Amino acid sequence: MPIEQQSTASFEYVYLASQSPRRQELLQQLGIGFQLLPPEIDEDAEALEAELPGEAAAMYVRRVCLAKAEAAARRLARAGRTAAPILVADTTVALDRAILGKPADDDNAVAMLTRLSGRTHHVLTAVAVVPAAGTAEQTPITSTLSVSTVRFVALTHEQIVRYVASGEPRGKAGAYGVQGRAAEFIAHIEGSYSGIMGLPLFETAALVRAAGVAF
C-alpha cells in the first residue's frame, strides 16, 4: 500500500504495539518518541500468527501485521488513552516456500538453524501504522514490506547447539538474532539490516512522518 501524503496533525509520539526491545532501540535510534501499547494478557497472539494453508511468506507477514494493527487499535480505544498513531510490525523468515517463525522450544530452534545452515533465506518485515483516531484525514491503515536476503555459512551441530543454549534464539523468527551472537554465522546480507532486526528504519520513518508524528 502506498504511503499517504503527510498528515497536517502533529503528534509527539507513536504507540508501539510490540514488546520487542529491538524495536524500541531502533525507534530511539531515529529519535521517534513512543509509548508502549503491548498486547493484553487475554489476547491470543498465537492465533493471529497461525499460518493459513499454502500461504506465501509475503502474504502471511502482511496479514499478521494488519491483524495485529487492528487488535492494537481496539486495545487503544478500550484504554481511552490520548489519540496518537499506532506502529505495528511483524517479522518472519522464509526458506524456499517454508515459513520459519519463532521456535516453540530449543529442539525446534536447533531444527530451524540446521535447515538454514549453508543456505540463503529471506527475512520479511511488514510495518503498519494506524492513524490517530479523531484526525481530520482518518486515512486507513498504511503498511509496507521490507524483504532482505541472508546467507548463512555451513554450521556444525556443535555450533548450533551452543548457540541455542545461549537462549538468544527464543522469541526470534528463524531462531536467530542478526544483532547478536548469530552475526558470526552470516556470510552475506542484501537489503535492510534494521529490517532483519525487526523494524526497517527507512520505511518506518516514512510511514511515521506521513501519520503526522514529529521527530
Which one-letter amino acid corresponds to residue 80? G
Distance CA 101, CA 103 (A): 6
> Would you state the cell numbers that stand for residue 10, as one nine-digit string?
502533529
Which residue out of 42, 44, 90, 107 is catalytically annotated?
Answer: 90
Determine whether 44 is an active site residue: no
Task: Give alpha helix (H) positions in 80-136.
Answer: 106-116
Exposed, middle or buried by CB within 10 Å (0-12, 13-18, 19+), for 208? buried
β pairing state of 142-152 and 98-100: unpaired
- The residues annotated as belonging to the active site are 90
